[in-house]
Structures are given as C-alpha cells and as structure tokens.
Chains A and B, each alone.
Chain A
Amino acid sequence: MQNIFKILIITLVVATLSSCSSKDSPNYEYMPNMYRSIPYDAYGEYDVFEKGHSALIPPAGTIARGYTLFDYENTTSGYELAKKNLKSPFSSSDIDLKKGKELYNIYCAVCHGSKGDGQGILMKREKILGIPSYSDVGRSISEGSIYHTIFYGKNSMGSYANQLDDHERWLVTHYVLKLKSDLEN
C-alpha cells in the first residue's frame, strides 16, 4: 500500500514539472527585472498611452524624419496633376537600378511580375487579377504617376508609403521606368 502511495507521489511530481514546460507559454527567466525593459518597448502594452499600446499613429500635421511633404492629393485630379507635373528629384547619378530592383522585387514583383508585365505570382495563382503591364497603352505611366501610385495606391493597389521612404520610392519609380522601356522595346 505504501509503495503505491510513493509511486503516486512521484508521478504527480513528474506530471506537474513536465506540465510547466508548455509550448504555449514562455519559459521562466532568471531575473525578470533584467530581462524586461524599463523604457517603453516598441509594440509594448502600457497604460500610460491613450489606447494602451506604444504603437501610435503620428500626430496630424507632423512628418517623420527622412520624409517630406507630398503636395499632390489622393484624387483622380491629383493623379493627373502628378502625372503631368511631378518630376523626379534624382540626378542621373542618384539613380541606383540595383537597389531599385531589390526593392521592386520585394514589394512590387509579387503582383506586377519581375519584368513588370503584370505576371506576378499572385496573378498566376489567380489571387489578384487584372494587373496591367507597364507598357499598357490605355494607362500610359510617367514618373510622376508612378510615384503618386506608390504613395497613395490606385484602384485595388494599396499605398506603399509606409513600407518605402521618399528616397526608396523614387528608386523604385526609376526601376519601373526602366522596366517599362524594356517592355516597349
């Protein structure tokens, strides 16, 4: 009888110990006050913020460092205006097609295809349809309209202003222009 009792205690101890190491919850830490940061972490949850989390939308009327004002409106007329008037601030030495290609392949090629012909993998798998080729006559694109589209998005395409900063947007714009001329020739 005593033996059974002992075995029962051992299994209980083993069971409690093993149940502590669950995949769903994080492990113990040696000294939590050295592990957890005192300053506010990015994406942290803190009561001090209005919505309870430290990820915030920039206050209205402010511009993040490295960004500049973009005067063209997110409307069809703004698009037409940008298409006509907006010119790239890059000098020929600023154009870095290699970097532009790298960014293009990350952000654009999933839909527009690595050649800009609208044959990206999401198109091929019929997830997103109707992606035009850059050489499409019906929608002639200029550097201004490309930049405007990256900034605000157009039709089903969303804005990429938060994934690419000013400089990177122009890098991509110039790479798109290159793809366009490649397609047309």
Chain B
Amino acid sequence: MNKKYKKVNPNSYFIKNSTNFLTTTVGKIILTFALIFSVSSFAQDLDLVQGKALFNANCAACHKLDKKMTGPALRGVQDRLLKDEGLDKEWMYSWIRNSASLIKSGDDYSNKIYAEYNGSAMTAFPQLSDSEIDNILAYTAQEKAIPVVNTVQAVPANGNSSSGISNEIILGAFAFVFLLLALGLFLVNKTLRSFAVQSNIELPKTNKSSRKPLWKAFVDNQFLMLCSAILMLLVSAYFVYGFLMQIGVNQGYEPVQPIHYSHKIHAGDNEIDCKYCHSSARVSKHSGIPSLNVCMNCHKTIYEYNGETTEEYSKEFYDGEIQKLYKAVGWDDEEQEYTGETQAVKWVRIHNLPDFAYFNHAQHVSVAGIECQTCHGPVEEMEIMYQYSPLTMGWCINCHRETNVKVKDNQYYEKIHEQLSQKYGVDKLTAAQMGGLECGKCHY
C-alpha cells in the first residue's frame, strides 16, 4: 500500500497511452481489449442505489455532497481530482482504504488535504471493494438535482387561505343582510307612521309617568330583594375568590422565546430523551437550560429543517431559527468552524417556583423515577412550550398523597420503608407517609 502515486497530467495521460499503442501491436490489442472490458464492466456494475446506501452508511458522517463538513464536499470529487490534481482512481482507492499510510508515504495532495482539515484523519475503510468504491464515486458524480419548485406546497396554502377568506366573506354577507333587514324595518315603521298621520289615526301614546317602573316594583318586594342580594353576594364572592386564588399561578404561561425551539420536533418527532438536553435534571436541583454546545451536538450536522411544515411554521422559518442558533453560538456554517463571537440567548423562564418553596429535580427524576410528563405535561406535543401544571402547593401535596414511594433497588429507603410500613400498617408507603407533607421539607 505504500507505493507512491505519480501525478499525471490528464492531457499527457492520453498522449502517453497513445505512445504505448504505437510501441507494440500486442500491447495495443491487450490494452484496447482491457479498455473495452473495463468500460463495459464500468457501465454494467455501477449501482447508484448501493452507492447511496454505502455513502450514507460510511461517508455521510463527515462528508456531504454539496457542503463542507468535517471533510470536503464530495460532489464530482473524482472529476475534480483528475482535473485539478491529476489524481486517478487508484489514488482514490488507496486514500479511501487507508489514508493514513498514504499521508505517511509523503504523497503531496494527501498531506495538503490533511493539513487543510486541521489534521483530522479520515477513517480507513479496508472493507470496501473496488466496485463498492466505484459505486460510491458514481453516486457522488451525479448532477445536483435542481430543487423542485414547491408547487405542491403552494396549492394547500392557497386552499387554506381561500377557505379563510370565504369564511370572512360569509360573515360579511350575513352582517350586510342583517343591516339591510334592520334598515328595512326602520323604513317600514317610518312609512306606516306617516300613513297613520296622513289618515288621521291616533297612535296609542306610551304613558311613562303613570306606570310604575319595574325597578321600583322590584325594590318594594322585600323577599325578592333579600334573595337577589344573597345571590349577588355569593356570585361576587365566587369570582373574588377565584381571582385571588389565581394570583401567582402561571398555569398556561406561554412566553415568546428568543429562538423558536419546538419540543414537538425534538422530543416528539425525533424522540430525543428529555434528559439528553436537560441533563442536570438527573443530578441537580435544576433541570437546566442546555448550553448551546448541546444543540450543536446535532446541529453541527443538521443545518436545515426537512420535516412537516405548516403555513405558520414553514421550512424557511425553521431554517431561520437554526441560523439564529449558529449566530448565537458563533458557528460559521460555510467554513465549518467556530468564530468565537458568541451571544447569550435570553431564554424566558416558564416554570418558576417562589423562592420560599424548595424543589429538587434530581430527587423526583432519579430517586422517585417520575416521568417528566407527570408535571410538565405532553411536552413532546408542544410546538410552543407552556406551563402545564399549576405548580401550587395543593397540587404538590395531592401528588405526594397519591404516589407510592419507589423503593425498588434503593437500599437507602429499604430499612426506613420497612419500619414505616409497619407503623402505618400498609404494604406500600406514599410519599406523604414518608414525610412528604412536612412543612420543613419544602419551606425552610
């Protein structure tokens, strides 16, 4: 594998070959035969489907077709190398199978590319056969597909907006009809009155002063007054109580975040575990807002959104949000490197317990083994994150009363659980029976 590869000028390549043709006729016959054979086998064996599968499985971790990643973009790599560097397929074979030894052998271009990509070595693929590499190269040699204009997307969008417009039209038509009716009645009334005046018919006059007003009759009836006073008091007490009880409760709080992060896409569609990003929930009081390097674990590779879109949340919208992340973390997507210019992202905190209440995520997540969704609701369905639970003391207490303590595989709890369950005469202890209602557990 240590043989050196000559740089061949692609033009002189054929000249040299043609001199070969001339030297010996035997050589000529063999070579033409070999050429014909190789060309025909080339045409037959190229399997783009296999090429794509192999590319995705082996190369795509570091190479994209049209975009620089850990390694260079690979569309048309074979042509490019032949044209610019004069490197033939043999070079490709040995580079792919063992780039390290090629670099060691002092090959010029190998060392150049190794230095250009900051000495990140390409994994060796000794298991790939010649034909498999050919297939991969054939896949990379494909022309870039021209992006199809989103006519399909535009149609339902039009349909949606037209249905919205038609609703408005219907409502407007109704309003117009009612207005006409009211006008008609008014006109009819007016003409009838003018007829009456013309034909000298005396209209019955409303005699306001002689009739006892309704409110006075109501006030005179003491029983009715008493009943309605009690009713009024009860109703207003209900509303005042309701108003006072919701002060400080933020259930349903749904602030606008600086970057539109969709939990639905990440935790729902892609099934990423909550603790992947909120890793400190396992070990700390806080569940933790992930620092942006955690985002970049995936978004270094995922620079665009290709999932379902709606009119409100289009692909452009989501791509823009990923760009916001790149800007904040200082990632140059073209050059695939960090610029060092970072900005803090001011996430808006949603779940906020008052300072006088202590809550520890690790105790609930790691020790009790409670699902995040128990308190935070169906986060995996939330396009915009909101506070699902009221987070009031009554809500906490209720759960402590109903939830059994998880003692399995917990030596710390085993002994105390035995003693307490004897004391209370139960098989399974609730969190409340283990002291989950003591004031000092949460307020100190």
* Chain A residues in the interface with B (C-beta under 8 A): 23-30, 34-38, 42-43, 45, 51-53, 55, 75-76, 105-107, 110, 118, 121-122, 125-132, 137-139, 153, 155-160, 162-165
For A110, list chain B residues within 8 Å (CB). Answer: 270-273, 276
Contact B298 A127 (CB under 8 A): yes
B109: interface (CB < 8 Å): no
Q: Which of B35-43, B118-126, B199-207, B418-426 contacts A (4 or more CB under 8 A)?
A: B118-126
Query: Which single member of B62, B255, B286 contacts A130 (CB below 8 Å)?
Result: B62
Option from A121, A138, A164 in Cβ contact (under 8 Å) with B127: A138
**Which residues of the partner chain B approach A126 to less than 8 Å between Cβ atoms?**
56, 306
Nearest chain A residue, comparing its CB with the CB of B61: A130
Distance between A35 CB and nearest chain B CB, rounded to angstroms = 4
Q: Which residue numbers of B lie inside 8 Å of A, CB to CB?
A: 56-63, 69-70, 119-121, 123-127, 246-250, 252-256, 269-273, 275-276, 279, 283, 286, 289, 291, 293-294, 296-298, 300-302, 306, 344, 346-347, 349, 352, 354-356, 386
Chain B, interface SS category: loop
A29 touches B354 (CB 8 A): yes
A137 and B127 contact, Cβ closer than 8 Å, known pairs A51-B344, A163-B279? yes
A60 shortest CB reach to chain B, Å = 15
* B271/A155 in contact, CB under 8 A: no
B256 — which chain A residues lie within 8 A by C-beta?
24
Cβ contacts under 8 Å, B255 to chain A: 24-26
A-B contact pairs, 27 of them (CB 8 A): A23-B253, A23-B254, A26-B253, A26-B255, A27-B248, A30-B248, A36-B355, A37-B355, A43-B349, A45-B346, A52-B344, A107-B276, A122-B270, A127-B301, A127-B302, A128-B302, A129-B56, A130-B56, A130-B58, A130-B61, A130-B63, A138-B127, A155-B61, A155-B120, A158-B297, A163-B279, A163-B294
A158 touches B293 (CB 8 A): yes
- Distance in angstroms from B419 CB to nearest chain A CB is 27
Q: How far is the CA of A26 from the CA of B248 in the complex (A)?
A: 8
Contact B270 A121 (CB under 8 A): yes
- B349 and A23 within 8 A (CB): no
> Across the two chains, which residue of chain A brings its CB closest to B277?
A163
Ordered nearest first, which 9 A-B pairs have the shortest CB separation?
A: A130-B61, A129-B60, A158-B297, A130-B60, A37-B355, A163-B279, A35-B354, A106-B273, A23-B254
* Measured CA separation A52–B296 after assembly (Å): 23
